[in-house]
Amino acid sequence: MKFIDISEYGPAENLLLGEVDKPTPAAGEVLIEVHAAGVNRPDVVQRMGFYPAPPGASPILGLEAAGTVVELGEGVSQWQVGDRVCALCNGGAYAEYVSVPADQVLPVPPGFSFQQAAALPETFFTVWSNVFDRAGLQAGENFLVHGGSSGIGTTAIQLASAFGAKVFTTAGTDQKCRACEKLGAVKAINYRNTPDFVPEFMALTQQGGMDVILDMVGAGYVAKNIDLAAVDGRIVNIAFLQGSQVELNLLPVMLKRLTLTGSTLRPQSPAAKASIASSLLARVWPLLEQGKISPQIHATFPLAEAARAHGMMESSQHIGKLILDVKS
Protein backbone atom coordinates (compact mmCIF):
# COMPACT_ATOMS: atom_id res chain seq x y z
CA MET A 1 0.00 0.00 0.00
CA LYS A 2 0.99 3.64 -0.39
CA PHE A 3 1.68 5.60 2.79
CA ILE A 4 3.39 8.75 3.97
CA ASP A 5 6.89 8.02 5.24
CA ILE A 6 9.04 10.26 7.44
CA SER A 7 12.44 10.23 5.76
CA GLU A 8 13.88 11.71 8.94
CA TYR A 9 12.46 13.75 11.80
CA GLY A 10 12.28 17.44 11.00
CA PRO A 11 10.47 19.79 8.61
CA ALA A 12 7.34 19.01 6.61
CA GLU A 13 9.42 18.45 3.47
CA ASN A 14 10.60 15.19 5.03
CA LEU A 15 7.17 13.63 4.44
CA LEU A 16 7.44 11.43 1.36
CA LEU A 17 5.11 8.99 -0.39
CA GLY A 18 6.32 5.40 0.02
CA GLU A 19 5.13 1.81 -0.17
CA VAL A 20 4.83 -0.81 2.55
CA ASP A 21 2.86 -4.00 3.17
CA LYS A 22 -0.68 -3.33 4.27
CA PRO A 23 -1.47 -4.29 7.88
CA THR A 24 -3.35 -7.38 8.97
CA PRO A 25 -6.05 -6.82 11.60
CA ALA A 26 -5.34 -8.44 14.95
CA ALA A 27 -8.05 -9.93 17.13
CA GLY A 28 -10.61 -7.27 17.94
CA GLU A 29 -9.54 -5.02 15.06
CA VAL A 30 -10.94 -4.10 11.67
CA LEU A 31 -8.99 -3.27 8.54
CA ILE A 32 -10.21 -0.08 6.88
CA GLU A 33 -9.54 0.89 3.29
CA VAL A 34 -8.84 4.57 3.87
CA HIS A 35 -10.56 7.16 1.67
CA ALA A 36 -9.63 10.21 3.75
CA ALA A 37 -7.54 11.00 6.82
CA GLY A 38 -7.47 13.97 9.17
CA VAL A 39 -4.38 16.07 9.82
CA ASN A 40 -3.82 17.04 13.45
CA ARG A 41 -1.28 18.96 15.50
CA PRO A 42 0.06 15.78 17.16
CA ASP A 43 1.01 14.54 13.67
CA VAL A 44 3.25 17.59 13.30
CA VAL A 45 4.84 16.99 16.69
CA GLN A 46 5.44 13.31 15.82
CA ARG A 47 6.98 14.30 12.49
CA MET A 48 9.40 16.53 14.39
CA GLY A 49 10.45 13.61 16.59
CA PHE A 50 8.81 14.71 19.85
CA TYR A 51 5.72 12.47 20.01
CA PRO A 52 6.63 8.83 19.39
CA ALA A 53 3.93 6.26 18.79
CA PRO A 54 2.94 4.28 21.90
CA PRO A 55 4.19 0.68 22.18
CA GLY A 56 2.35 -1.54 19.71
CA ALA A 57 0.91 1.34 17.66
CA SER A 58 1.72 1.94 14.01
CA PRO A 59 4.66 4.33 13.55
CA ILE A 60 2.91 5.74 10.46
CA LEU A 61 1.37 9.17 11.02
CA GLY A 62 -2.36 9.69 11.29
CA LEU A 63 -4.85 9.54 14.16
CA GLU A 64 -8.17 9.52 12.30
CA ALA A 65 -9.49 8.02 9.09
CA ALA A 66 -12.67 7.30 7.18
CA GLY A 67 -13.29 4.57 4.64
CA THR A 68 -14.77 1.11 4.22
CA VAL A 69 -14.25 -2.02 6.29
CA VAL A 70 -12.48 -4.64 4.17
CA GLU A 71 -11.45 -7.26 6.74
CA LEU A 72 -12.46 -8.31 10.25
CA GLY A 73 -10.12 -9.49 12.94
CA GLU A 74 -10.99 -12.45 15.15
CA GLY A 75 -13.92 -11.79 17.47
CA VAL A 76 -15.28 -8.71 15.71
CA SER A 77 -19.05 -8.91 15.28
CA GLN A 78 -20.29 -5.29 15.41
CA TRP A 79 -18.96 -4.44 11.93
CA GLN A 80 -19.31 -6.03 8.52
CA VAL A 81 -17.16 -5.89 5.40
CA GLY A 82 -18.37 -2.95 3.31
CA ASP A 83 -19.48 -0.76 6.23
CA ARG A 84 -18.76 2.96 5.80
CA VAL A 85 -16.90 4.00 8.94
CA CYS A 86 -14.64 6.56 10.55
CA ALA A 87 -12.21 5.73 13.32
CA LEU A 88 -9.92 7.06 15.99
CA CYS A 89 -6.63 5.43 15.05
CA ASN A 90 -3.67 4.71 17.29
CA GLY A 91 -1.54 5.65 14.29
CA GLY A 92 -1.35 4.65 10.64
CA ALA A 93 -4.07 6.77 9.00
CA TYR A 94 -1.75 8.40 6.42
CA ALA A 95 -2.00 5.28 4.30
CA GLU A 96 -4.28 3.34 1.98
CA TYR A 97 -5.17 0.86 4.75
CA VAL A 98 -5.20 1.09 8.53
CA SER A 99 -6.01 -1.46 11.21
CA VAL A 100 -8.04 -0.09 14.13
CA PRO A 101 -9.58 -1.54 17.32
CA ALA A 102 -13.23 -2.20 16.47
CA ASP A 103 -14.47 -0.30 19.53
CA GLN A 104 -12.82 2.91 18.27
CA VAL A 105 -14.82 2.79 15.04
CA LEU A 106 -18.01 4.76 14.40
CA PRO A 107 -20.43 4.81 11.45
CA VAL A 108 -20.16 7.55 8.87
CA PRO A 109 -23.18 9.77 9.57
CA PRO A 110 -25.83 9.57 6.81
CA GLY A 111 -25.14 12.04 4.02
CA PHE A 112 -21.54 12.64 5.08
CA SER A 113 -18.68 12.26 2.61
CA PHE A 114 -15.59 10.33 3.67
CA GLN A 115 -13.73 13.64 3.84
CA GLN A 116 -16.30 15.04 6.28
CA ALA A 117 -16.26 11.85 8.34
CA ALA A 118 -12.46 11.86 8.54
CA ALA A 119 -12.68 15.27 10.24
CA LEU A 120 -14.66 13.86 13.18
CA PRO A 121 -12.83 11.33 15.38
CA GLU A 122 -9.75 13.05 16.81
CA THR A 123 -11.36 16.36 17.66
CA PHE A 124 -14.71 14.96 18.78
CA PHE A 125 -13.11 12.31 21.01
CA THR A 126 -10.81 14.98 22.48
CA VAL A 127 -13.47 17.59 23.11
CA TRP A 128 -16.04 15.16 24.51
CA SER A 129 -13.62 13.45 26.89
CA ASN A 130 -12.10 16.69 28.20
CA VAL A 131 -14.94 19.20 28.17
CA PHE A 132 -17.87 16.96 29.07
CA ASP A 133 -16.39 13.92 30.82
CA ARG A 134 -13.40 15.44 32.60
CA ALA A 135 -14.62 19.01 33.18
CA GLY A 136 -18.32 18.20 33.40
CA LEU A 137 -19.60 21.18 31.40
CA GLN A 138 -23.29 21.77 32.07
CA ALA A 139 -26.01 23.73 30.29
CA GLY A 140 -26.02 27.37 31.35
CA GLU A 141 -22.33 27.45 32.29
CA ASN A 142 -19.74 29.80 30.80
CA PHE A 143 -17.21 28.01 28.62
CA LEU A 144 -13.99 29.43 27.15
CA VAL A 145 -11.92 27.66 24.51
CA HIS A 146 -8.64 29.14 23.38
CA GLY A 147 -7.75 28.73 19.70
CA GLY A 148 -11.37 28.72 18.64
CA SER A 149 -10.62 28.54 14.91
CA SER A 150 -8.64 25.31 15.18
CA GLY A 151 -10.12 21.87 14.57
CA ILE A 152 -10.47 21.40 18.33
CA GLY A 153 -11.83 24.91 18.75
CA THR A 154 -14.50 24.75 16.05
CA THR A 155 -15.65 21.41 17.46
CA ALA A 156 -15.69 22.65 21.05
CA ILE A 157 -17.68 25.77 20.16
CA GLN A 158 -20.35 23.77 18.38
CA LEU A 159 -20.65 21.01 20.97
CA ALA A 160 -20.69 23.31 23.98
CA SER A 161 -23.27 25.55 22.32
CA ALA A 162 -25.42 22.59 21.30
CA PHE A 163 -25.51 21.37 24.90
CA GLY A 164 -26.58 24.74 26.24
CA ALA A 165 -23.37 26.39 27.44
CA LYS A 166 -22.51 30.05 26.87
CA VAL A 167 -19.39 29.92 24.71
CA PHE A 168 -16.47 32.35 24.50
CA THR A 169 -13.22 32.01 22.60
CA THR A 170 -9.94 33.57 21.54
CA ALA A 171 -8.55 33.54 18.00
CA GLY A 172 -5.72 35.21 16.12
CA THR A 173 -7.48 37.34 13.49
CA ASP A 174 -10.74 39.25 13.17
CA GLN A 175 -11.77 36.87 10.37
CA LYS A 176 -11.24 33.88 12.65
CA CYS A 177 -13.17 35.59 15.44
CA ARG A 178 -16.16 36.17 13.17
CA ALA A 179 -16.04 32.53 12.03
CA CYS A 180 -16.11 31.40 15.66
CA GLU A 181 -19.12 33.58 16.39
CA LYS A 182 -20.96 32.17 13.40
CA LEU A 183 -20.41 28.69 14.88
CA GLY A 184 -22.04 29.68 18.16
CA ALA A 185 -19.55 31.66 20.27
CA VAL A 186 -21.17 34.56 22.09
CA LYS A 187 -17.94 36.54 21.80
CA ALA A 188 -14.56 35.84 20.21
CA ILE A 189 -11.63 38.08 21.12
CA ASN A 190 -8.63 38.64 18.86
CA TYR A 191 -5.76 37.94 21.24
CA ARG A 192 -3.30 39.83 19.01
CA ASN A 193 -5.34 43.04 19.29
CA THR A 194 -6.29 42.39 22.92
CA PRO A 195 -3.45 40.40 24.55
CA ASP A 196 -4.85 41.13 28.02
CA PHE A 197 -8.28 39.67 27.38
CA VAL A 198 -9.03 38.86 31.02
CA PRO A 199 -10.86 42.13 31.88
CA GLU A 200 -13.02 41.93 28.74
CA PHE A 201 -14.09 38.33 29.36
CA MET A 202 -14.78 39.11 33.01
CA ALA A 203 -17.00 42.00 31.95
CA LEU A 204 -18.81 39.79 29.47
CA THR A 205 -19.61 37.34 32.29
CA GLN A 206 -20.63 40.11 34.74
CA GLN A 207 -17.43 39.33 36.67
CA GLY A 208 -18.56 35.74 37.18
CA GLY A 209 -15.78 34.21 35.10
CA MET A 210 -15.58 30.93 33.21
CA ASP A 211 -16.89 27.68 34.62
CA VAL A 212 -14.83 25.59 32.17
CA ILE A 213 -11.73 26.57 30.19
CA LEU A 214 -10.17 24.41 27.48
CA ASP A 215 -6.60 25.48 26.71
CA MET A 216 -3.99 24.23 24.26
CA VAL A 217 -1.68 27.26 24.48
CA GLY A 218 -0.12 27.06 27.94
CA ALA A 219 2.68 29.47 28.94
CA GLY A 220 1.21 32.87 29.89
CA TYR A 221 -2.33 31.61 29.38
CA VAL A 222 -2.08 29.42 32.49
CA ALA A 223 -2.13 32.39 34.88
CA LYS A 224 -4.81 34.13 32.79
CA ASN A 225 -6.98 31.02 32.96
CA ILE A 226 -6.74 31.00 36.74
CA ASP A 227 -7.70 34.68 36.83
CA LEU A 228 -10.63 34.02 34.48
CA ALA A 229 -11.96 30.93 36.22
CA ALA A 230 -15.20 31.12 38.17
CA VAL A 231 -15.59 29.77 41.67
CA ASP A 232 -15.46 25.96 41.36
CA GLY A 233 -14.14 26.41 37.83
CA ARG A 234 -12.43 23.63 35.88
CA ILE A 235 -9.40 24.30 33.66
CA VAL A 236 -8.32 21.59 31.22
CA ASN A 237 -5.04 21.68 29.31
CA ILE A 238 -4.72 19.43 26.27
CA ALA A 239 -1.50 20.93 24.86
CA PHE A 240 1.17 23.50 25.64
CA LEU A 241 1.98 25.02 22.26
CA GLN A 242 3.77 27.96 23.87
CA GLY A 243 5.36 26.04 26.76
CA SER A 244 4.45 24.06 29.86
CA GLN A 245 6.74 25.60 32.50
CA VAL A 246 5.32 28.64 34.28
CA GLU A 247 5.62 30.42 37.63
CA LEU A 248 2.24 30.75 39.30
CA ASN A 249 0.48 32.20 42.30
CA LEU A 250 -1.64 29.22 43.30
CA LEU A 251 -3.56 30.99 46.06
CA PRO A 252 -6.56 31.65 43.76
CA VAL A 253 -6.76 27.91 43.05
CA MET A 254 -7.47 27.37 46.72
CA LEU A 255 -9.67 30.40 47.26
CA LYS A 256 -11.85 29.69 44.20
CA ARG A 257 -11.75 25.89 44.64
CA LEU A 258 -10.45 25.40 41.11
CA THR A 259 -9.69 22.13 39.38
CA LEU A 260 -6.59 22.14 37.16
CA THR A 261 -6.44 19.06 34.99
CA GLY A 262 -5.42 17.82 31.57
CA SER A 263 -5.03 14.78 29.38
CA THR A 264 -3.68 13.34 26.17
CA LEU A 265 -5.86 11.02 24.13
CA ARG A 266 -3.48 8.70 22.30
CA PRO A 267 -1.95 6.85 25.31
CA GLN A 268 -5.33 6.13 26.92
CA SER A 269 -6.50 2.55 27.26
CA PRO A 270 -8.66 0.80 24.66
CA ALA A 271 -11.45 0.66 27.25
CA ALA A 272 -11.30 4.43 27.79
CA LYS A 273 -11.44 5.13 24.07
CA ALA A 274 -14.28 2.66 23.63
CA SER A 275 -16.24 4.45 26.35
CA ILE A 276 -15.77 7.80 24.60
CA ALA A 277 -16.88 6.28 21.29
CA SER A 278 -20.02 4.93 22.93
CA SER A 279 -20.86 8.35 24.38
CA LEU A 280 -20.31 10.05 21.03
CA LEU A 281 -22.56 7.59 19.24
CA ALA A 282 -25.35 8.12 21.76
CA ARG A 283 -25.04 11.86 22.41
CA VAL A 284 -23.29 13.51 19.45
CA TRP A 285 -23.93 11.42 16.34
CA PRO A 286 -27.66 12.33 16.40
CA LEU A 287 -26.67 16.02 16.28
CA LEU A 288 -24.47 15.35 13.23
CA GLU A 289 -27.26 13.40 11.53
CA GLN A 290 -29.70 16.24 12.19
CA GLY A 291 -27.30 18.84 10.81
CA LYS A 292 -27.16 20.73 14.11
CA ILE A 293 -23.36 20.54 14.15
CA SER A 294 -20.87 19.77 11.38
CA PRO A 295 -17.12 19.46 10.88
CA GLN A 296 -15.48 22.59 9.51
CA ILE A 297 -13.05 21.66 6.71
CA HIS A 298 -10.66 24.36 5.54
CA ALA A 299 -8.77 22.47 2.84
CA THR A 300 -8.23 18.99 1.38
CA PHE A 301 -4.93 17.73 -0.03
CA PRO A 302 -4.00 14.57 -1.94
CA LEU A 303 -2.14 12.04 0.22
CA ALA A 304 1.07 12.69 -1.71
CA GLU A 305 0.88 16.34 -0.65
CA ALA A 306 0.89 15.67 3.09
CA ALA A 307 3.86 18.03 3.41
CA ARG A 308 1.73 20.92 2.13
CA ALA A 309 -0.99 20.05 4.63
CA HIS A 310 1.55 20.10 7.46
CA GLY A 311 2.88 23.43 6.23
CA MET A 312 -0.60 24.92 6.43
CA MET A 313 -1.13 23.41 9.87
CA GLU A 314 2.07 25.03 11.12
CA SER A 315 1.15 28.38 9.56
CA SER A 316 -2.12 28.46 11.55
CA GLN A 317 -3.83 30.12 8.61
CA HIS A 318 -6.65 27.61 8.53
CA ILE A 319 -10.09 27.68 10.13
CA GLY A 320 -11.19 24.17 11.09
CA LYS A 321 -9.78 20.91 9.80
CA LEU A 322 -7.26 19.86 7.17
CA ILE A 323 -7.91 16.58 5.34
CA LEU A 324 -5.86 14.18 3.21
CA ASP A 325 -7.79 12.66 0.31
CA VAL A 326 -6.22 9.23 0.07
CA LYS A 327 -8.16 8.17 -3.02
CA SER A 328 -7.36 11.21 -5.19
0.95 exceeded by the pTM? yes
Using DSSP, state whether 77 is helix, strand or coil: coil
**pLDDT for the residue numbered 24:** 97
119, 323 contact by CB (below 8 A)? yes
pLDDT digits (tens, 9 = 90+) for 208-236: 999 999 999 999 999 999 999 999 999 99
| Strands annotated E in the chain | 2-6, 15-19, 29-39, 64-72, 84-88, 97-101, 105-107, 142-145, 166-171, 187-190, 210-215, 229-237, 259-262, 297-302, 321-325
Q: Which domains are delineated in the chain? A: 2-120+266-325 (3.90.180.10), 125-262 (3.40.50.720)
DSSP string for 221-290: HHHHHHHHEEEEEEEEES--TT-S------HHHHHTT-EEEE--STTS-HHHHHHHHHHIIIIIHHHHHT
pLDDT digits (tens, 9 = 90+) for 174-197: 999 999 999 999 999 999 999 999
328 falls in which pLDDT band (50, 70, 90)? confident
